Amino acid sequence: MTAANEGLVYEEFVPVPMRDGTLLAASVTRPAGAGPFPTVLTRTPYDRTNQRANGEAWARAGYAFVRQDVRGRFDSQGEFWPFRDDPADGFDTIEWLAAQPWCDGRIGTTGASHVGTVQYLAAPTRPPHLVAAIPEFAPASVYDRWWYHGGAFRLGFNLAWIALLAQDNLRHFPARMAELNAAREQLWVTPERMRSLEPMPFFREWTPRDLSLVDGVFGNDWIARFMEHREYGEFWRPVDFTAQHAEMETPMLHIGGWHDTFCQGTVDSYVGMRAHARTAEARAAQRLIMGPWRHVNWGERGVGELDFGEGLLEVSPFETRRRWFDRWLRGDAAAGGNEPPVLIFVMGENRWRAEEEWPLARAEAVPFYLLPDGALGTRPPVHERALTFRYDPNHPVPTIGGCEWVNFPCGPFDQRVLDSRPDVLRFQTAPLDEDVEVTGQVFAHLLVSSSAPDTDLTAKLIDVHTDGRAFNVCDGIARVRHRRSREHPALLARGERDEVVVDLWSTSNLFRRGHRIRLDVSSSNFPRFAPNANTTAPAYSAPLGREERAVAENTVHLGGERGSRIVLPVVARRR
């Protein structure tokens, strides 16, 4: 169906043929007239019809805008299996578009989250007419930047994502849709509910492996297959883009947020392509923008409980995208061709700063040691000590903010609501004598032992303000059985000490003079991550929340230069 309105042409239900004969549904919005026009493509599992206003904005800027339902979703034919068919389908769609009379053969892709992920999947196939891309808020690996994090299953995110996908499949079954919507009410958590530390029993019991709500809904067993593959291996390699950067040659504008659920994935994609893209021209053509945003809230100045100021809005979403495509699809060198490759927002200082590289060569890796009295200092304790806490998987530490997804309050939130918990070890500096900027990837090196053969370690970097408010900056988790390898788990012998490295991902934060730098260490962060059962059984060998569980006595060992510490990338401030 073709229609015209206000100088724009709309085409709905455009069938795009794939190489196997499957037809994928697309909608096209373009300027009136013969063209041809440079074309912007977005491929989504979330219903292409939601993108009409976006299409009109692109068409008024002189572009054709194409939005397509990925295979097996909404009006597209075929079987939906996340990410499996997107490399070939992306290639076929781009090349089909290039042959249309209204397209000038120059195509750019755009979109966030899943819609950014399919861009990374198409890029290694190198469609001849793919000129540039803007993947936003997307992971670099579905295994350890989406489904898992440090070996721990991302419970809150994945359950909500599955429920969101199931909506399409149940739209013609009102009774089941009503049941699913009731379940989603429990999965979409309000800030008030989060702060109440409600135990959230629904998260404890609900699992995609045995829930009748989604059982059979997708017509295949992709959820079960995802759950079965607990370690990294052949199953996950096709959706690990870090291993495919050398096959990519597309200029990309990578956009992400310090509080985004895929924060480190955005950074990893930029770094990997800057170093390994197929050609020197492609390596030089990578750009990175990192703001303080949570998942897909680019254009808002408030994140979590903090307002990052009017200056945050200086980087406009649509104008930034338009300039990128003007540069590459129209050859407009004045549209950002000579800018530094990296643009970061320094939280705390609350200003944008251009950089020539990432990571910053001038950042110094400074170890801050965990001290027995709860202090955090740059000198290790002289004598070895140990601090032990009791981790009960039936009473996990509640998630308060952080890099969650849209179903959970994410971003910086005051952590003091957790201060009374005995299963959290807290370490903090004295009030700072001067500003300390931390910009880069943060790692906690914890020397630990446990009464359990497997457990988790969590680490959370916190900025304690002068009024006592304590806002999370970045955090992470590490499953002990994966401390040496993602592919080959190793249980911990009773009493054995070993180093566990917790990746807190990347950030840029100015800890102001008078503030304190704080590190919280524990073993759970629920419902963001599924609690570790502390047993020898393979993870998720029984439905989540109903597996055999044990209480662990977890010990953090202090002392010596190789003792427990957090390593911060500290950037010297210009005086």
Contact 111, 42 (CB under 8 A): yes
Which of 295, 445, 482, 557 is catalytic? The answer is: 295
User: How far, in Å, are 334, 390, 470 from residue 330 at the CA level?
Assistant: 11, 61, 47
Q: Give the residue among 12, 92, 7 at the shortest CA–CA distance from 52.
A: 12
Contact 11, 52 (CB under 8 A): no
- Cα radius of gyration (the chain): 24
CA–CA dist 294, 172 (Å, integer): 33
Q: Check the CA dihedral 332-334-338-341 and report its sign.
A: negative
Q: Check the CA dihedral 225-230-231-237 and report its sign.
A: positive
Structure tokens at 498: 């070993």
Give the helix, strand, coil percentages of the chain, each rounded to 5. Answer: 25, 30, 45
CA–CA dist 20, 88 (Å, integer): 10
Contact 290, 344 (CB under 8 A): yes
Place of tokens 């303080």: 292
Structure tokens at 405: 């997804």
Which of 168, 260, 326, 503 is catalytic? The answer is: 260
Catalytic residue check, 260: yes
Q: Give the residue among 122, 205, 213, 212 at the shortest CA–CA distance from 164.
A: 213
Which of 76, 85, 89, 113 is catalytic? The answer is: 113
Catalytic residue check, 295: yes
Structure tokens at 135: 């993947």
DSSP E strand boundaries for 240-375 = 253-257, 287-291, 302-303, 306-307, 342-346, 351-355, 363-370
- The dihedral over CA atoms of 330, 331, 335, 336, expressed in degrees to the nearest 10, equals 130
Q: What is the SS3 assignment for 47?
A: coil
C-alpha count within 13 angstroms, C-beta hemisphere, residue 280: 0
- Please give the positions annotated as active site: 113, 260, 295
